[in-house]
Structure 1
Amino acid sequence: MAEADAVAWLNREMRGLAPSRASGSWTQRVAESGAADPQHVETRLAELHRRIRSARSEHAAEIETQIQRARANVPQAAEQAQQVAREATHFRAALQALHHSEPPAALACVHRLTDIQHRMQHARDLLQAADAWSYVEADVHAHIQERDYARAAQRIADVRDSLAQFAHSEHVSAQTAVLARLSDTLLREVQPMLAAAVTSGDVDAMELCAAVYARLQQDDALAELYLPARAERVHRVWADTDATLPAKMAQLGDALVALTDEEVHTFAPRLFGNEAAVVVAHTLATLSPSLATCVATAQAPLPDMVQAYEVAHAWAARLEALLRGATTQPVVQLRGSRDWRPCIEEAFAPFKAAYRALEEAYIEQAWSDTQPSFAAQLDRAMVSSLSDDMAPWLQCVTLVAELLHDQVMLARALRTEALQRAHALGAPLSDTQAALHASLDPGVAHRLSSTMDLLRQRYQSHARVNAPMHLAQADDLDALHDWSLIRAGAKMLGVVREAGEAMDTALHAAQRLVMELVLTVFRQHLDMYVAHGAWREHAPARTDPRVPMPTFSLSPTEGMVRLGEGLLNLPRLFEALVEREWANFAYGVHALDDERPRKTRTLSAKMLTHDMPDDTLDYVLSAWLRSLTLALLASLQQDALPRIVASRECDRAQLAADLDYLSTIASALNASSSALREWVDVLQLDARAASALPASSPLRASRAFALVWTT
């Protein structure tokens, strides 16, 4: 018993007892609780104690009895457990046999009963539907009168589904005809509503009409009405556009993007799911005129065609991004092609197939169109060369070099535009490079080379006619070189270098121009040598008192000595120019007409004889000096010497001495000439020795022998 319960019991028992004096702690607590007589409490406690002991004895006796019974039952329970263990195997085998035989049969029976139930329910439904066949026409007309098209379509769909179970019945055929007539009636009522909804963009009305078409299984009929109506706005923009092909493509793209955006975000999610691409494909396929016809008949220039292709692919990318949205459950199925890309690719396919030929023709025409402007600028630049003075030629050469540089930049711009067009079309780079090599490079090379050759010829004629009068009085030829003019001419080499590859003719023309500018003074000196040289025979005057002295070894004349000294001083002067214009002179050094491919001697101010690689200053300088010297010797042999030997006053011995001296100078400059040695050998012959030469002699077969002894 809990302490609180004991206190409560004591309080209850001791109520009404006479108060007594308390003694001790327990007595004090009893007194404080309000009990009247502690003796009465003690009596009751003793009685309670006796009851507790009696109850405990009874419980102990009961427990002992139960223990005895359990001891008696344990052997019996153990025996029963052993018996159960013995019978468990047989019982388990019986259960397994029952499981394999009875449950499948029971399950089969259950399935048969369920199937019978379903069939009975289905038959009941069919009977109910068949009972309602006679009311379908009235119901549908009633719904149409109420403009409840959805319920009318659902009523027709329900009857149609029920008729499917009786497909071979004659009565079903009649009912099917009735349903077809009702469907047509309903569609005639819905079509104006659908057309108005498509025109106004009323999505709710369109969704209602789409549900009607879906229940009537008339998705194709809906598509036949919906697709042309949606494409009409784009077709109107396409037909009304009267602009260039790129602008026409841009306007078509804007209209298509607006249509697709409206389809994807407004109509398709509620009507067709993710079938907005069908609308785009139908719109592009039904353009009038077609996209392919418009591109084929546009007759647009190549840049406009490429720009139109870029514009088309730009809005095609925007369409793809719009059509990549999430899919929703469609109300009706739009059957049709979703692939609208071929409309664009097929339209530009013929153009891309003929791209190389078109590129060649366009580049060639574009370059030809710049010819009149170039010719006018060239004429203005050439005006400065009309003066009799040599000074304006510096301005003329500078202006022509700048003009040709502008032409190279123009060609580079055309090349860049062609590469950009090829990149935009995805055309092979090899086709573009081939078109450039076939149409642009020859035109650029011809313009550069013809201009440089014209400039060289005019300068050469001007220099011969207007030779400086003080040329004969000059102590040496070094001071007569116009190195500013020569450096301006060297810019032509830089122009060709910037032009790139396939400029061999222009490179040779630039090299010929530079050599002409360098050799001008030497050519003028040769002309003076031909006109006033000391190679003439002079009979002694009758009044000359001097006694003629025999000559055993002729020395070169003063004019030839001055020419040789000028050639020997040329390396020192020319080296400074090559150092300043190193990149220009080094470019195309292998294209020099007389450049030796491997090892050559150099006559720079640094070294006299050296074998060097072909990318050094000495190599470039030596190659140019050799070409300059051989060009001067060729001019001497082809122009000057035939005029000299044709003169009756020609002193062959003196001329041979001059040429021998010049041949020695040429050898020192690494420009030995076997043809010049033939001239020396022929001029040293007398008449008897010349006639004695055998017919098989190489000397007799030479051009020099023919000019000296047979004319």
Structure 2
Amino acid sequence: MASSLESLGEYDDIVAWVNDTLPIDSDVSELDQSIVQLLASLDIAAEDTSSQLERTIDDVARSVPRLTYDLHFMNDGASTLQSALRHVCNRAVAVVPDPMKETLDHLRTLDKIKTNMEAARDVLREAESWSTLEMEVTGLLGDQQYAKAAARLSEASRSMVVFQNTPEYDPRRSLMTSLQNQLEASLSSALVSAINIQDLPACKDYFAIFSDIQRESEFRNYYNGSRKAPLATLWQSTRLKDCDEDEGVILFADFLPKFYEQCLTVLHHERNVMPEIFPDPLVSFSAFLLSALSGLQPSISHRLSTVSNHYGDAVLQELITLFKTTEDFARSVQNIMEKMKLSSSSEDTAVSPPAPRRRKSIRMSMSWRSAPVRASSSTHTISSKLASLSEWEQELFQPFLEFQVDYASLERRFLDNTLMATVTLDTSRPGKQDVARLLRERAVDAFGAAEESMNRCMAFTHGYAAVGLVQALDSFFKSFMDMWRREMHAQLQPSAHISPDEPEDEENAGLDYTSADWAVFQLSLHLLSSARSVHERLLSFESKLRVNITHISTSFRLAREDPQTFAMSASLRHLEQSVLQSAELQTLLEPQRPGQPEPLLLEARSAISECARTCQDALQHTILSPLIKALEGYASLPLWTAVDEVKPSANPKEVKLHIPSFSLDPSDNMKRVAEGLLNLPRLFEGYGDDDALAFSLDTLPHAQAASTEPSTPAPMGHARRQSVSAGSKQAVDREAISGAWLSSFGRTFLLHLTLQVLPSIQDLTPRGAAQLASDLGYLSNIVGALNVEGEDLSQWRRCVEADDLDAVSVKDDIWREVLRMRR
């Protein structure tokens, strides 16, 4: 427990410390005993800490007043010491006699004169040597004594600093360059020959000569140019089918492994040769590899671009193959360099190579903003690893970075291309096809291709393009469902199902539906069921995608916290410094809060909801079509303009009596409408067990208003998840589903009535108003039986039957419409 308490300060999360301290795998009794011991230890430790804190506070409180006094005392002592030193200096100057002062000034002058004379002598000697430099070096070159000539030039080069900031500097600098060029020209042919025949002693001597004249880089250029020539020839002379305009003999994906194999053969040879020539073999090895890769014509970037143009939308798989091959090559090169490090006895081999031409990454961003680590050494190690990304690694992986950053677009194009092949097969099949079944089959293909995308993301970007992966998948599924929504809309038109009259179904007799209506009804249910199946697949796929993202997050965290164990490859380090390392990626990789995780594919879910809405709209339109047709001539019925009968009188002088005759019975149109509404529950009795009706209830027309009903299930839920034994619960769910649909039907019908039919009535006499009030009251009772609230319907009724419209509290638009009708 003592060691556990000491480690408490290393944790930011107290829950994590408790989980690490307690033996979770033990049984309940041992765990309870451990908790009791831990609580006792924590109480004792808390008391000890409190006591130590109080003692510390007391000590500080006692020391602060004393500290002020000590500082004051030190200030006074320093002032006294300064005055004493000033007094001693004044006395020392006064003690020295004037003759002694003059003697010291004279000695100082003589010393300065001596120093200047020595400097002048050195200048004169250098001038004398420079006067004969050209003749001496030319003579040595003529005698082929190249080492002596290099040594003479090296000595003269060291003396160039003497002439700096003088008129003699530029002429001597020009002479030095000219003599060095002559020496290099004299050695060039012999050097190339020695390199070609691998005369290692001669190459080593030539390197020493070039080093004496500060031309090591020229020697490396000669050496690298000669040794990389076979590789450059192989790269340039091989004609590729998918890169070159003319007919090639091999694909780039097949050629690249052979090229890298040839490179490794050359590098293995250089691993044994370079230590015999160069004092820094590892640096020279890296520089040679950089020279070989950067000198390829056409460049790697150019060939990757031509490959992309050749394969088009399907290029991602080719890029992954090429990237994996390149990673394997980089690992092999790293193994060779590790062997060179182990065989080298000098620590200077670990120095970074010189950068004669520094290549800048075109897509670099901020470094990894890592989470707090346990020790500062880890942060230092990560920084050193990022800084150690050598130039040859950048040259090797930089061409892929442009495609890796554009991974979202590449993945989306690849998914579309994969799915298009299956869609093309569907369109080529003769005859009429089952659209609902075809949707489920194509969904299997779509999700199968999408599951492979997670592997492609890891293979090509090591998870750094996870944000692009989510975007590509979300956009892909949205487009997929939008395509099927358009197909649904076309298939759910009644004109697409016109067929000869069929015998009427006895079970649904009297419901005023045609065979085309029943076909649309059945197809709507089947498509809604298919949409539900796609939604379930999407939820399952999101779970797999989240597990994959969690795995990526764990890998990154382990690499940050323990870089020694989880070392990063060159390609991974290169990706870590790219713009893929973004704030969006950090947000995506953050651990999810406990409970319901945030959805990843929002647009895909929305597209599925739109498909469900399309099916529900078609189903509702089909069900309500007889009711809507029954109201087509309702606004123009003569009932609304009817007037009361006038009874004639036998005596002309008597006043004629107006005897009103009100028909309190609803009109025939309203009776047919009410009969159709009452038949709706019977229509759903045969489909109560259909899970399609329970799917996406929140997208039902006017479902937001209906959601206040207690019978409405949760959005996007599947109301029937219980076992067969839970019969009573299933019955409740069936009633809830039917209630939601009937409520939606009722609200849609009432909106059609109150917004379109009733405002179309032109005139309304008192007798017509009474008849309309009777119809609306009768309809209110019917929709009330369907558990539908008709507030607008009730307001229309109150306003129609009122004698004084100004006294009625209704909506302004209803009040104005009734006022217009009644004039």
**Cα deviation per residue 1:98-125 (whole Å; 9 max; x = unaligned)?**
xxxxxxxxxxxxxxxxxxxxxxxxxxxx
| Structure 1 residue 477 corresponds to structure 2 residue 477 | no
Letter in 1 for 2:259: A
Letter in 1 for 2:223: Y
Larger Rg: 1
Per the alignment, residue 315 of structure 1 pairs with: 329
Which of 784, 799, 810 aligns to 1:667? It is: 784
Per the alignment, residue 425 of structure 1 pairs with: 461
What's the CA shift for 1:342? 1.6
CA distance in 1, matches of 2:778, 2:354: 95
Letter in 1 for 2:531: L
Compared CA separation, residues 654 and 566, structure 1 to 2 (3 A):
farther
| Structure 1 residue 223 corresponds to structure 2 residue 220 | yes
Compared CA separation, residues 346 and 374, structure 1 to 2 (3 A):
closer
Per the alignment, residue 710 of structure 2 pairs with: 600
Which of 806, 810, 813 aligns to 1:694? It is: 806
Letter in 1 for 2:511: L
| Structure 1 residue 507 corresponds to structure 2 residue 609 | yes
Letter in 2 for 1:227: N
Letter in 2 for 1:594: A
Q: Secondary structure at 1:576's aligned position in 2?
A: coil
Compared CA separation, residues 601 and 418, structure 1 to 2 (3 A):
closer
**Cα deviation per residue 1:446-483 (whole Å; 9 max; x = unaligned)?**
43443333334x22x56899998969997543998677
Letter in 1 for 2:676: L
CA distance in 1, matches of 2:502, 2:676: 16
Compared CA separation, residues 310 and 625, structure 1 to 2 (3 A):
farther
| Structure 1 residue 251 corresponds to structure 2 residue 250 | no
Q: How many residues align?
A: 498
1:180-329 → structure 2 map (5 Å cutoff): 190-191=190-191, 193-197=193-197, 206-213=199-206, 223-243=220-240, 244=242, 247-248=251-252, 251-252=255-256, 254-265=258-269, 268=272, 271=276, 274=282, 276-292=285-301, 300=309, 301=312, 303=316, 308-326=322-340, 327-328=342-343
* Conserved 8 A contact 1:194-1:209: yes
Letter in 1 for 2:665: L
Q: State the identity as a percent.
A: 13
Letter in 2 for 1:226: Y
Compared CA separation, residues 306 and 462, structure 1 to 2 (3 A):
closer
Q: Secondary structure at 2:338's aligned position in 1?
A: coil
1:563-578 → structure 2 map (5 Å cutoff): 563-578=676-691
Compared CA separation, residues 373 and 567, structure 1 to 2 (3 A):
same
CA distance in 1, matches of 2:292, 2:253: 14
1:505-654 → structure 2 map (5 Å cutoff): 506-517=608-619, 520-528=622-630, 530=632, 553-554=664-665, 557=668, 559-578=672-691, 581=692, 585-587=694-696, 589=698, 593-595=702-704, 596-597=706-707, 600-601=710-711, 619-637=736-754
* Conserved 8 A contact 1:663-1:677: yes
1:68-79 → structure 2 map (5 Å cutoff): none
**Cα deviation per residue 1:641-684 (whole Å; 9 max; x = unaligned)?**
67788999x97656654443332232232221223334444565
Per the alignment, residue 23 of structure 1 pairs with: none
* Conserved 8 A contact 2:609-2:699: no
CA distance in 2, matches of 1:349, 1:573: 59
| Structure 1 residue 406 corresponds to structure 2 residue 406 | no
Letter in 1 for 2:442: D
Letter in 2 for 1:694: D
* Conserved 8 A contact 1:352-1:425: yes
CA distance in 2, matches of 1:325, 1:216: 29
**Cα deviation per residue 1:234-262 (whole Å; 9 max; x = unaligned)?**
21232234443695476355324323334
* Conserved 8 A contact 2:454-2:469: yes
1:326-475 → structure 2 map (5 Å cutoff): 326=340, 327-328=342-343, 339-352=391-404, 355=406, 359-360=408-409, 363=412, 367=416, 398-399=434-435, 402-403=438-439, 406=442, 409-410=445-446, 413=449, 417=453, 420-421=456-457, 424-426=460-462, 427-434=464-471, 439-440=475-476, 443-444=479-480, 446-456=482-492, 458-459=493-494
What's the CA shift for 1:343? 0.9
Q: Secondary structure at 1:554's aligned position in 2?
A: coil
Letter in 2 for 1:278: A
CA distance in 2, matches of 1:570, 1:418: 46
CA distance in 2, matches of 1:325, 1:517: 73
Letter in 2 for 1:494: R
Q: Secondary structure at 1:280's aligned position in 2?
A: helix
Compared CA separation, residues 422 and 677, structure 1 to 2 (3 A):
farther
Compared CA separation, residues 252 and 559, structure 1 to 2 (3 A):
closer
Compared CA separation, residues 360 and 279, structure 1 to 2 (3 A):
closer
1:171-182 → structure 2 map (5 Å cutoff): none
CA distance in 1, matches of 2:448, 2:337: 41
Compared CA separation, residues 418 and 288, structure 1 to 2 (3 A):
same
CA distance in 1, matches of 2:239, 2:189: 40
**Cα deviation per residue 1:109-166 (whole Å; 9 max; x = unaligned)?**
xxxxxxxxxxxxxxxxxxxxxxxxxxxx99x99xx9xxxxxxx99xx799979x99xx
* Conserved 8 A contact 2:770-2:800: yes
* Conserved 8 A contact 1:592-1:627: yes
* Conserved 8 A contact 2:485-2:614: no
Compared CA separation, residues 424 and 296, structure 1 to 2 (3 A):
same
CA distance in 2, matches of 1:422, 1:402: 31
CA distance in 1, matches of 2:795, 2:417: 49
* Conserved 8 A contact 1:250-1:311: no
**Cα deviation per residue 1:288-312 (whole Å; 9 max; x = unaligned)?**
3444555567764562555544443
CA distance in 2, matches of 1:700, 1:376: 58
What's the CA shift for 1:283? 0.5
Q: Secondary structure at 1:701's aligned position in 2?
A: helix
Letter in 1 for 2:263: L
CA distance in 2, matches of 1:627, 1:281: 71
Cα root mean square deviation, aligned: 5.9
**Cα deviation per residue 1:489-524 (whole Å; 9 max; x = unaligned)?**
322432662455324355244234235325524422
CA distance in 1, matches of 2:304, 2:420: 30
Higher relative contact order (Cα pairs below 8 Å, separated by 6+ residues): 2
**Cα deviation per residue 1:675-700 (whole Å; 9 max; x = unaligned)?**
33344445656xxx4xx423986367
CA distance in 2, matches of 1:404, 1:362: 23
* Conserved 8 A contact 1:682-1:708: no
What's the CA shift for 1:618? 5.0
5+ long unaligned stretches in structure 1: 1-136, 145-151, 169-178, 199-205, 385-395, 540-548, 607-611
Task: Please report the TM-score for the alignment, with normalisation by the length of structure 1.
Answer: 0.53
What's the CA shift for 1:623? 2.6
Letter in 2 for 1:698: V
**Cα deviation per residue 1:575-612 (whole Å; 9 max; x = unaligned)?**
2224xx4xx73346367632444551479999xxxxx9
* Conserved 8 A contact 1:195-1:229: yes
* Conserved 8 A contact 1:699-1:705: no
CA distance in 2, matches of 1:348, 1:630: 58
